[in-house]
Amino acid sequence: MSIEFEGREVAIQPGDSLAAALYRDGVRVFSRSFKYHRPRGLYCLSGDCPNCLVTVDGEVNVRACQCAAKDGQVVSRQNAWPSVDRDALNVIDKMHPLMPVGFYYKTMAKPKFAWPLAEGVIRRVAGLGFSDKSDAPVDIDRVNRHPDVLVIGAGVAGLSAAIAAAAGGKRVMVIDEQSTPGARVAAGPTKEAIDRLAATAASNPGIEVSSGTAAIGIYEGPMVLALAADYVAHIHPQAIVIAAGGMEVHRIFPNNDLPGIFMGRGAARLAGAHGVKPGERAVVWAEQPEAIEHARTLIAAGVVVEAVITAPGVDASGVGNRQIEGSIVEAKGRKKLAGVVVKTTGGATEEISCDILAIGSEIQQNMHLPRLIYDLPCILTGDSAHPGSSLSEAESNGREAGAAAAAGLPLYVNPPASKPRTCGTAGYVCLCEDVSVKEVEQAIDEGFESAELLKRYTTVTMGPCQGRLCADQLRAIAERKTPSEAARVSAPTTLRPPVRPIQIQQAAAGARHHIERHTPLHQRHLEMGATTLWAGPWKRIFSYGDMQAEYEAVRHRVGVIDVGTLGKFLLAGPDVVEFLERIYPMRVADLEPGRLRYGLMLEEGGVIIDDGTVCALEGGAFYCTVTTSGAERLESWMLDWREAWGLDVFVVNQTASLAAVNVAGPHARDLLQKLSDDPLDKETFPYLRHRRITVNGVSCLAIRLGFVGELAYELHFPAAAAVEMWDAILEAGKEWDIRPFGLDAQRLLRLEKGHIIISQDTDFETNPWKVSMEWAVKLDKPDFVGKAALVRAQRRTPRETLVPWQMEPGMATPPEGMTVTIGGNLAGRVTSSKMSYVLGHPVGLAWVVTEHAKEGGTITIGGAPATIAGHAFYDPEGVKLRA
Amino acid sequence: MSHFHIKTPFGYRPVSEFSYGGEVRPPLAPDAPDEEAIDHLWLRANVNGVQRERWFHTSGTRRWYTIVRDTRTNLVLAQPGEEYQEGSA
């Protein structure tokens, strides 16, 4: 197994991270620093520093230490020219005086034309890799999870907490960013404890351990956003236990960024967990006892530990060739570490030659997640609560946290304030943005004193590590420089998600999880070559390829359209009449069974929100249809009013359970009569009536409506029978050359009749008066939704009125949305516009200022004259639809 | 999106499954004077604090729920069916 690394093969072993595989192969410089192009090597091996960002299979800024090596991966380093090993841009490192902090604000600001030129160069020289801009969008799944207790971190404390919470009867989910619990922990007592606890957790059905899943933010709810390998999880627990562990403090001294310098845990991970020998001769800086374990791990891996530099009170006896009480004050070397300068407690300095330095400094909490808690039900445990806990402390502390989470105790635990650190006087504060102590001090001299200002000016804490290494050090420098204002400047900078790097496509996970609804006939339509369009959540049929042929079939012969997307509601109950009287502005109480009525639906402000039909059924129930896009919304709307009024009504949404087709055209009756024995003649079944008839052996509610202006029967029947019904209608219609028709044809058919489409021809302030539909409103009713507003709106003339218009034959059809002018002044806009085949000229609807909205008036649409019509263009008397 | 949970007959569900239905308001009396009617139609209290409000469980039970929520903290002070007592938070 191997990967391709900058043109050569590098062997990998099972369980390797990219960093481990490359390091074993001899790679020492993993990146060039952001600004000065200084060589950088592995440092933390925990995904916390920016040093090992590489490009993997075209994906930029992948943390090599966190990325599992896979056979065939193509890996390269970033931010260097011509190569990371021999980076010519390293000359910038000699140019510090020319590049003070914020130099790009200062030096390129004038003359103005220089900045775009400079920007191009800076963008190429700085930055982290080049993203592949040819990417096709990648859809990543988003899942919702609802455990009782979420534990973040599968270390000793986290697993102990999970076991305790499960013992308390809770469903527990544990997430951890490593591939398995303890995967990156060197062999030793910690690893053994994790293995033991992980085995216990794995055998507990109440605990789900989700490895390879990184928490990247805690939000209100609480909701934890977590990244897994191929999906994004929204986790909604009742309580959260944060056991996100700790890390060593980033120590600052001259040349503290040389390759060969490791955090103590980093060196131990490389040697103990990956089996890669980090170097030949090591110095271990032990500020706390855990570092002695690191020294032992290195020795076990065959590294000669030249010296252990201990803080007072740390016992290193017997470990390493020498034990010196003191601290490291400087590192030596150019491209890699050659030695360290040690200052003993007595004050003497000594240089020790070595090729690796493991800094086992004070343990601080991984502060990001704890600092996102605010007042959410979270409890901190392990290093997240008590940085530097011993194993037994972590285990007992974890158990307490888990039990508390399970018991639902008041869990509002404030995170310990991160305390300011001591900080050296030279060296790199910020590895991400390449900012040295000197530069921070210079920025303070320029007046940027508080940590928040320093952060913005120097960009310290704003790089890939998001302040993990540098946030507290920044405050330490600020306090040292301006001690009198310590209280003010030491306020920690605000931390925000994401805690871990996130791809844009991960941030957009689920953004395209559209619900796409299909009628039972959808597949039939596609087989017939139909094109579709969105209508609310539905995919509807736009056309079957020849809109004019579809149109002609309806006008002259017969056509059929799938209207199964209509919102369909059955309403019943003791108060149903009262309910409908209040929901609709027209009268419903006098509607006899077998009859139907067109109804607008208004919101409280009198604005039209939908329209449809109300059919009075035998036995006191009603069947109501609403528009395709309105069904979902109007269901909740009706239910809301039902509760507000306290009426006893059942509202049954039959939108999905019923199919509907509209058979329309002069031969519609002839066609249906072939499929039905029920009487369909004009006398028995006239216009604006509905009857239950049997068509093709299926009981249908047949409704005689006139949306398209022809003799038409709208059939509503069980969705399961849809395909057979459709096929039977098309078969029976062959003798009249039947055509299925889509929305495009339907829109012209209805436009010739002057029918409006709610939300195409109306807007958010359209009331019935403005569209001349007074006939659909009965203000003498006691009350209905919108009445209060309409009564008042009636007192004034609306500013604009919707009118039908037509143009002379031969004129071009103006686009919908075109402005309407009168005498050169803006006077309205076109909402619908189409070429009428039957009339031979363009027709449409438009908003026109009311004083000019008179039948016969002339308006100008896009420079062309049009005449306002007074009524439907086609069959104004409605003879055809009553046939 | 703010996150909190609303109690339904099927347990606590995340607010992302619901649609906001606005603050609970007394109905407008049919004979209300113009000023009152206009306020009712066009103005909302937009409370910075404790509010009774409606939520429709769009992706779930398809029912309405009335809760009491503090708009400053998004803490739900009374779930559907619970009595809200002032000061109990």
- pLDDT of A311 reads 94
Annotate A115-169 with DSSP letters as a single string: HHHHHHHHHHHSSS----TTPPP---EEEEE--SEEEE--SHHHHHHHHHHHHTT
Question: What mean pLDDT do residues A540-558 have?
Answer: 97
Cross-chain residue pair B54–A640, CB shorter than 8 Å? yes
- pLDDT of A4 reads 95
Question: What mean pLDDT do residues A535-552 have?
Answer: 95
Tell me which of A308-312, A327-331, A356-360, A407-411 is least confident: A407-411
SS3 assignment, position A693: strand
Q: How confident is the model at residue A865 (pLDDT cuts 50, 70, 90)?
A: very high
Chain B residues touching residue A238 (CB < 8 angstroms): 12
Question: What mean pLDDT do residues A317-338 have?
Answer: 94
pLDDT tens digit sequence for A174-221: 999 998 999 888 888 899 999 999 999 999 999 999 999 999 999 887
Residue B14: which of A236, A605, A640 has the nearest Cβ? A236
Q: What is the pTM of this model?
A: 0.76
Question: What mean pLDDT do residues A314-341 have?
Answer: 94
Instruction: Say if residues A568 and A654 touch (Cβ distance below 8 Å).
Output: yes
Continuous segment of H or E residues that includes residue A833: strand A825-836
pLDDT of A117 strictly over 70: yes
**A255-to-A59, A339, A475, A856 alpha-carbon distances in Å:** 30, 11, 21, 88
In the numeric block, which tokens belong to residue A159?
A: 């697993």
Question: What mean pLDDT do residues A293-313 have?
Answer: 95
- pLDDT of B64 reads 96
- pLDDT of A688 reads 95
Question: What is the Cα–Cα distance from A450 to A61, expressed in whole angstroms?
Answer: 31
Question: What mean pLDDT do residues A589-598 have?
Answer: 96
**Percentage above 70 pLDDT, chain A:** 94
- Across the A/B interface, how many CB contacts are shorter than 8 Å? 62
Tell me which of A156-165, A355-364, A367-376 is least confident: A367-376
In the numeric block, which tokens belong to residue B89?
A: 């938070």
pLDDT of A421 strictly over 80: no
Annotate A605-653 with DSSP letters as a single string: TS-EEEEEEEEEPGGG-EEEEE-GGGHHHHHHHHHHHHHHHT---EEEE
Degrees (nearest 5) of the Cα angle A787, A788, A792? 105
Question: What is the Cα–Cα distance from A127 to A130, expressed in whole angstroms?
Answer: 8
Question: What is the Cα–Cα distance from B18 to B57, expressed in whole angstroms?
Answer: 4
Q: How confident is the model at residue A94 (pLDDT cuts 50, 70, 90)?
A: confident
- pLDDT of B29 reads 85
Mutate to test the interface with B, among A145, A148, A223 (most CBs of B within 10 A): A223
Chain A residues touching residue B7 (CB < 8 angstroms): none
Which long-range contacts does B68-71 make (Cβ < 8 Å, 24+ apart)? B69/B4, B71/B47
- pLDDT of A543 reads 97
Chain B residues touching residue A635 (CB < 8 angstroms): 62
Question: What mean pLDDT do residues A705-719 have?
Answer: 95
Cross-chain residue pair B30–A632, CB shorter than 8 Å? no
Backbone φ and ψ of A865, nearest 5°: -75, 145
Q: Residues A203, A207, A209, A214: what is their CA dihedral angle, to the nearest 10 degrees?
A: -170
Question: What mean pLDDT do residues A649-668 have?
Answer: 96
More confident residue, A474 or B52: B52
Instruction: Say if residues A96 and A36 touch (Cβ distance below 8 Å).
Output: yes
Annotate A522-560 with DSSP letters as a single string: HHHHHHTT-EEEEETTEEEEEESS-HHHHHHHHHHS-EE
CA distance B49 to chain A (A): 17
Please enumerate in sequence order all residues whose Cβ is within 8 A of that of A288, keeping only pairs 6 or more positions apart, or say none: A311, A314, A360, A361, A362, A363, A388
pLDDT of A477 strictly over 60: yes
- pLDDT of A150 reads 97
SS3 assignment, position B1: coil
- pLDDT of A354 reads 96
Question: What is the Cα–Cα distance from B46 to B26, expressed in whole angstroms?
Answer: 15
Residue A792: which of B15, B37, B63 has the nearest Cβ? B37
Nearest residue in chain A measured CA to CA from B20: A636
- pLDDT of B89 reads 45
Question: What mean pLDDT do residues A113-133 have?
Answer: 70
CA distance A576 to chain B (A): 19
Residue B3: which of A223, A604, A788 has the nearest Cβ? A223
Q: Is A375 on the interface with B (CB under 8 A)?
A: yes
Question: What mean pLDDT do residues A654-680 have?
Answer: 97
Cross-chain residue pair A788–B40, CB shorter than 8 Å? yes
In the numeric block, which tokens belong to residue A80?
A: 């260097």
Residue B64: which of A144, A223, A639 has the nearest Cβ? A639
Question: What is the Cα–Cα distance from A11 to A415, expressed in whole angstroms?
Answer: 44
- pLDDT of A124 reads 65
**Percentage above 90 pLDDT, chain A:** 71
Q: How confident is the model at residue B87 (pLDDT cuts 50, 70, 90)?
A: low
Residue A236: which of B2, B5, B58 has the nearest Cβ? B5
SS3 assignment, position A803: strand
Question: What mean pLDDT do residues A797-820 have?
Answer: 94
Question: What is the Cα–Cα distance from A663 to A680, expressed in whole angstroms?
Answer: 13
Nearest residue in chain B measured CA to CA from A643: B64
pLDDT tens digit sequence for A276-295: 999 999 999 999 999 999 99
- pLDDT of B1 reads 44
Interface of A with B in 558-597 (CB under 8 A): none
CA distance A61 to chain B (A): 28
Cross-chain residue pair B64–A144, CB shorter than 8 Å? no
- DSSP character for A595? B
Question: What mean pLDDT do residues A347-351 have?
Answer: 94
- pLDDT of A718 reads 98
ipTM surpassing 0.90: yes
In terms of C-beta density within 10 A (0-12 exposed, 13-18 middle, 19 or more buried), how is residue A117 classed?
exposed
- DSSP character for A734? G
Question: What is the Cα–Cα distance from A604 to A790, expressed in whole angstroms?
Answer: 9
Handedness of CA A561, A760, A545, A656 (dihedral sign): negative
Q: How confident is the model at residue A631 (pLDDT cuts 50, 70, 90)?
A: confident
Interface of A with B in 764-783 (CB under 8 A): 782-783
